[in-house]
Chain A
Amino acid sequence: MRRLIAMFIVCTVVFSASVYAQEDSTDVNMVKSLGEKVDELSGKVDGIQEDYLATKATVDKISKVKLSGYLQTQIRVAKDTAGQLNPDYTNRYDIGEFQGGKLPAATRTVFQLRRARIKTTYATSLTQMVVQLDCLPFTTGSAVSSTTQDTSGKYTVKTKTSAFLSGGGVSIKDAYLRFTDPWTKSFALKGGVFDRPFGFEISYSSSSRESPERSRLYQTLFPGERDLGFSLEYLPGDNLPKFAQFFNFKGGFFAGNGINVEFDDLRDFIGRAGFSIPIIPINMSIDGGVSGYVGNVRDRNDTLYEVKSGKWAASTGKKWDDVDKRYIGGDLELFYGNIPFFGGICLRGEFIKGKQPSFKSTNVSQKTGQSSKDPVYLREIGGYYGMVVLNIDPVRCQLVGKYDSFDPEMNLEKKEVTNAADIKYSTIGGGLVYHLTENVKLTAYYDNVRNEKSSVAPFTSDVKDDVVTFRVQYKF
């Protein structure tokens, strides 16, 4: 019996020990297994972390590319006439040239795609590359070959239609590089095709401008607004002391012939020294600047014309002379944001005076035409504009009023003017801008264009060339 009891006890102890050993081994295995799983998960997390960093690096690169653009489509109506035709069915005078482009002959209303721009920017913290394209459809036209008049005075136009395309396609608006200094982040070097640093209205984007077009003086002196060159900019950042933030500067050397390739070795200096004084407690800002243009064009004709004693006078022996192109300008903008009910108001004005070399038939700055062998006409130009923009904030509207004046030859007055390119013009414009959404803007604008009463027919009195513009803009 004792023997049986002893055997039972021994068996129980052995069994218990084996069970304990088994349990202990299970726990060890479980811990081992959990450890392996943690290692596995940790590896996976590290893998995800690596993937995340690789993806982030890609996303960061992509986020440096910014795409923006806008499209303006419009209807323009010549208020009164486009019916004053020459016998060959061309207009006796241009209508709408400075209100979005000349209206075609014998046409009172045009549908128009005014601007369609896509801008691509690649920007890092200190560098920027910008390419902006304007994509407009070609316009078609037909050339009139001959016109005959019968005995009753009726004209017959024989059209030998030769269709042509003009005024459209894809063109470069901007293509430039910009490098910012890494220390103050306020100085930058810019090179390529970009806005000329002169005055206010050039650099004020067409998508933001309240009037449909720039003033006549800017369209004449700076057609296309851009030029090819290099400039230095000082645009102070928030990190600079307050007094240093009040001033800004842009200036550089340019080819002087718009976005076209350079055709001479003359360079033009263009620059603007400006200020911007925000008076935040009363929600007011006073901005302004003075601008200068110092350049030349090369005369390829022996004769140079200038106005002396009220008429054009020729001087000879001028071939290959460099003729002055000089402008000086000033601009002032006053912003006040606390007008009860309306919101903000802006009063803006600019003037430009100077010497403008061009040709007899035109007073516009030449883009490529300086290679022409026509004699150069050196004009003393002067012009200005003033405008008011009043916001009606609760209803997203802006009321706009503008007056601009441009005299292409200030030494000739009224009846002394015998050449259409010397006629002084003034334009009173007014309209309503409605911001339908953050992307869509609607504009209705009326331009009352007045010409000086000159000796040049039909400009012996004010011709009927007022234009109304209805525009829809989409911007992203």
Chain B
Amino acid sequence: MNKRILAITTGILVAVAAIVYAATTTITVKGSDTMVILSQRWAEDYMAKNPAVSIQVTGGGSGTGISALINGATDICNASRPMKSSEREKLKQRYQSLGVEIKTAIDGVTLYVNEKNPIKELTLDQIKAIYTGTITNWKQVGGPDMKIILYGRENSSGTYVYFRDEVLSGQDYAQTMQSMPGTAAVVNAVSRDQYGIGYGGAAYAQGVSFVAVKKDVSSAAYEPTAENIKNGSYPVSRYLYMYVRNRPSGEMKKFIDWILSDEGQSVVTKVGYFPIR
């Protein structure tokens, strides 16, 4: 009888160990679209050095990633905004954990306009008025007498939330804003639309012009350059985060440690964001 119990117990332990081992050699990463390219580069480089580890990266937006972390559908969540207290509450309820936040890079949220658009700088108040629908014509900010076409992100995006909370002071976006499924789609739309304006990560800005941002009318305008973002002059910069449920261990810890190492942070620079150190 004792042998039978021993055999059953051993079997259960082996099965559990096998599941744990399988779970730790495949790492799933989901979340921020802003961070998809960066995260894929990290995964590719890390897997090239550690062939036994499989890392699967998908986007969907920071909100989607955080939901996946809460639902157990991903191991790591990428987020371009901090986790909300309501989201921490859900994590706490399900996992008895507030989650572990890891700052992985710095990004300047960039305002894009078409290359033919003569507007080169805007104040934060003007940007807010444009995106809340108070300013609707380029003439009102010194441009041509043409309607402003707004492009933005979907509400599952961390950039959407960050921009609304930090730039629009929590006010709702104008009804006329066209919600695009990713930052690349925003850039693409603005590059084709002479009177369009969009926002997103600095790394995506190709075929469009940056708008320099001023804190107010009397302050200087700053472009989203590495120097301006790092020294805090550029007014719309943020951290890019990774979240995990508990203190990372095993392969996940090694992967995150590598991201924070000089090697991992050099990928940040190559992709077009800014290292945390």
Contact = CB atoms under 8 A, between A and B. Distances in A.
A473 to B, nearest CB: 13
Contacts of B56: none
A278 B84 contact: no
B249 A340 contact: yes
B245 A337 contact: yes
B85 to A, nearest CB: 5
Interface string A425-465: 00000000001001000000000000000000000000000
B246 A393 contact: yes
A245 B84 CA distance: 12
B95 A337 contact: yes
A339 B24 CA distance: 17
A345 B94 CA distance: 10
Contacts of B84: 238
A182 to B, nearest CB: 11
A125 B173 CA distance: 13
B63 interface: no
B22 to A, nearest CB: 9
A396 interface: yes
Interface in B132-155: none
B98 A395 contact: no
A341 B20 CA distance: 10
Nearest to A335: B96
A239 interface: yes
A359 B253 CA distance: 60
A211 B19 CA distance: 25
A391 B95 contact: yes
Range class of the B interface residue count: 20 to 34
Nearest to B101: A280
Interface in A247-286: 278, 280, 283-285
B176 A285 contact: no
Given A335-B92, A337-B99, A393 B85 contact: no
B97 A343 contact: yes
Contacts of B72: 396, 435, 438
A318 to B, nearest CB: 45
Given A283-B246, A394-B23, A395-B19, A344 B96 contact: yes
A395 B98 CA distance: 19
Interface in B160-206: 170, 172, 175-176, 178
B88 interface: yes
Interface in B59-114: 71-73, 84-85, 88, 92-101
B247 A344 contact: no
B73 A395 contact: no
A337 B19 contact: no
A245 B97 contact: no
A65 to B, nearest CB: 16
B96 A343 contact: yes
A338 B247 contact: yes
Range class of the A interface residue count: 35 or more
Contacts of A237: 85
B94 A208 contact: yes
A151 to B, nearest CB: 48
B97 A337 contact: yes
A118 interface: no
Contacts of A344: 95-97, 245-246
Contact of B88 (A278, A336, A345, A395): A278
A343 B93 CA distance: 13
A245 B85 CA distance: 9
B16 interface: yes
A59 B16 CA distance: 45
A336 B99 CA distance: 10
A52 interface: yes
Interface string B242-262: 000111010000000000000
Contacts of B85: 237-238, 245, 278
Contacts of B246: 283, 337-339, 343-344, 391, 393
A238 B92 CA distance: 17
Contacts of B88: 278
A153 B19 CA distance: 59
A177 to B, nearest CB: 20
Contacts of B71: 438
Contact of B97 (A204, A208, A283, A341): A283
A283 B99 contact: yes
Interface string A222-257: 000000000000000111000001000000000000
A337 B178 contact: no
A420 to B, nearest CB: 37
Interface in A35-82: 52-53, 56-57
A125 B172 contact: yes
Interface string B1-20: 00000000000000010011
B133 to A, nearest CB: 12
A113 interface: no
Report which residue of B84, B92, B97, B176 has the largest number of chain A beta carbons within 10 angstroms of its beta carbon.
B97
B83 to A, nearest CB: 9
A337 to B, nearest CB: 3
Contact of A56 (B92, B95, B175): B175
B175 A53 contact: yes
Interface in A306-340: 335-340
A346 interface: yes
Interface string A275-299: 0001010011100000000000000
Given A53-B175, A283-B100, A337-B97, 20 more contacts: A57-B175, A125-B172, A204-B93, A208-B93, A238-B84, A245-B85, A283-B97, A335-B92, A335-B97, A336-B96, A336-B97, A337-B95, A337-B99, A338-B100, A343-B246, A344-B95, A345-B96, A393-B245, A394-B20, A435-B72
What 8 A-B pairs are tightest by C-beta distance, nearest first? A337-B97, A344-B96, A438-B71, A344-B97, A346-B96, A338-B247, A343-B246, A394-B20
10 contacts: A125-B172, A245-B85, A278-B85, A283-B246, A337-B246, A343-B246, A391-B96, A394-B20, A394-B23, A395-B16
